[in-house]
A and B are shown apart, each in its own frame.
Chain A
Amino acid sequence: MSVLVGLTVQTFGIGASPAPVILQGQSRTMDEVFPHLFSIFLILGTLVGIVVLSYMVYVGVRYRSDGTTDERADSPQLGELPEGGGDGRKLAVSLTLSAIIVIALISYAWFLLLGVEGGPPEVSGEPSTDEPLSVTVVGEQFSWKYIYPNGNTAYTLRVPNDRPVALTVTSSDVMHTYGIPEYDLKTDAIPAQNTTIWFNPNETGTVEAHCYELCGTGHSEMTSEVIIMDGAAFDGWYAQSTSDATPTPNESTDKVAYAIDRPQSELADNYVLV
């Protein structure tokens, strides 16, 4: 039985585990779950859309008036009191059908959600290199500040490719939303609140993080580099790292009047990072 379930899971392309992941609530990253689920929704949604819209257009053409025989014995009369025109059965069947599709899809999505929400896998017996790297991300108008476990801060996120990375996201001023599209990651950065996301960086290289919540003048250009390093290279860098003093200036500052030199708001001054 478990082989069957495992096969099904394999077929849908999520992960390598032969066990019924859903029931185990195994950890899954967003970049495993999202493309898979999105394509299922897209395929089914397109199918349902085509069926319903085609039927609608077909009915529209099929029952088009020829302009001569509009008046019939049972035509509605001006001033009549309304009554329901039968066909309740047909309605009930259609509703049930659509409800089954929607509820099945959403339930499946919910089980996958459990995997994402569970956080990085606990690998207690393994060597410490597999412990997730925890970084705090602080949104501030208009840059992303990263705080590493050793207390160093940086405006570029460097992560190793050999262990999970857990990000705790917050904001020092207004609401932002932190997202790394490459890894299908996104979460709100809210003053005085923490949200968490995690991912498994794999290929080394540079990707971009964006802001997804309107946060002021520099919102459009509030980006930051995320550099995924070879595990060993990361360890070397991390051992020698120091804090960045200021945000890395963005290339396209010609347009945006950056508010970095703006007097820090009371809020930012008072804010205590939890």
Chain B
Amino acid sequence: MDGDKNTLLAVLQLLRKYNLKSTEDLFRKEANLTDITADDNQQTESEVNSVLSAYKSEGDPALYEKAYSELKKFVEGSLDIYKHELGTILYPVLVHMYLELVYNNHSVEAKQLMEKFCGNLEEYYQEDLKKLSNVTKREQMAGNELTDTFKSNQFIIRMSRDTLSILKRHLQEKKHSVLLNIIQEHLYFDMYEGVARNKQQIEATSGAIVGEATRQDNKAKVYYGLLKEPDIQCIPPAEEEEDDTAGTEGDKPKKKKAKKDPLFSKKTKSDPNAPPVGRMPLPNLKDADKLEKLKALREASKRVVLGPDSLPSICFYTLLNAVHGVTAAEIAEDSSLLAVGFSDSAIKVWSLVPQKLRLMKTGDQLQDINKEAEDVLVRMMDDRTAETVRSLYGHSGPIYSLSFSPDRNLLLSSSEDATVRLWSLHTWTCVVCYKGHLYPVWSVRFSPHGYYFATASHDKTARLWATDSHQPLRIFAGHYSDVDVVQFHPNSNYVATGSSDMTVRLWDCVTGSQVRLMTGHKGPIYSLAFSAEGRFLASAGADHRILVWDLAHGHLVAALSSHSANVHCLSFSRDGNILVSGSLDCTLKLWDFTKLAEEMTLEDVNVSHNPDVKTCVETYLLRTFATKNSPVLTLHFSRRNLLLGVGMFEAS
């Protein structure tokens, strides 16, 4: 009750702040807050201020350097097994000491402290330290994203019980009030039983802005299994399917057939890890969707099984004459359409198949069509308007992301102008403009089942929408910086986000809560991909590495570093055997994911025990293919496992 009241007060204060008089009055009346006087407001205001002044301390600036160097000496002098874990507190302590000094107007000392000690910290912290060191005045602290994050959040450090007790003993001995204050207020120790971690283990998961994930963060159960496929195989068309496979049996080796069958049967069996049916309400399949599914299955039966000995063929689409103008590219699920977004806010859609792009007939003409006809969908379209490429105009800023709906009738685009637009690929016009984000929308994704879509924005939130609603259904708030990329889990129950705060998070669409927090990236994340069976998540970004996560417990499984520039696209082959990554360094690399997953299952994994992170690039890297000065924008496996890539040619 008390908490409720406080919230109401905060709202009231906000209304007052923006001078929304009538709303305020209404609000007072409804909430029976008429008796609240200005005094109370005053009080709450000062509370807000007290948060800001968390750094107020009367410490002598000279003490900081001494305290820090003693801490450093202690860490360096401690036993080898504890050394690395103890070392993890050096970075947050330095950051907060610096901020405290700056806050208390000791800029010179702050600068000295930073210059003296920053060099000894890990390489991946340097970027943030550099950003931090730009802040040299108290006034600049307000409104700076990084300092705000540090100020208002505790830095999380995982530590074994032994290490922590050693640290505590040391702190009690030394009694540096400065250090004690910082550790008490700004650091949070997530203690665990067991042996202290070694350097590699620590490095694997450190690097995020607010430290590591606590164990609590990843305890929730995640239904990472795939949904039961609707039984289109059982109803009449299934026979057709049978016929089809029987027909192809002749010219294909027996072994392949045997392999193929479990592939289908697995889908029909219910996965123990799959979410209960109806957990997330999904749109019912229309007849057209069923036909489409059937087509997909038929195509899948002709799929080449990939592996280290049978590598895919790659068809690469190069965009010519687009000097740095391409900002996004996306290929439809059935590989028939390619959408490209440009920095001049235009969108172009190419047809990659002989079938051209047609306009829908006008209303009058449509009335003449026999609605009972089987090919009514074809008849709807006007053949005279067939073209191989069509443009969509409507945004007023660079297009950062595109996504086709599963039935390929709709296209979503997100742009710098803070809007998301839904385009009809029948009429080739904009259908809806979703305005909800306040800042550029970096990423948009259709749910694999259609209807829902998710967005990620500079405003630090990711949102879940339904195509028929102007308002977002869920707002996923929790990231400390831009949410750079969003990706739907194949079962549509979860959404994964990657952010500039260097964390990957998994959100439950049903409850709206965060169910996984995964740290380990050392830079913003620009690409996410779920493995075919839904258990693993691959992420990559500005640290040029590809990390693979096990969603069962949120563990880091592998860290693959081989690229030399930002990685902007990841894709799993349809059979899940190969992971492919494409980067701005004009290469794409094929990784042996089967091997990775196999080695992973051999290890005993549970919630508390983090498996060894695999970093051996030679074992998993199958091939590297270089393009000719064309950064890779998107990668896509066709239903038959042909790899399609899109890049823009940059004249050297």
Genuine A/B complex: no
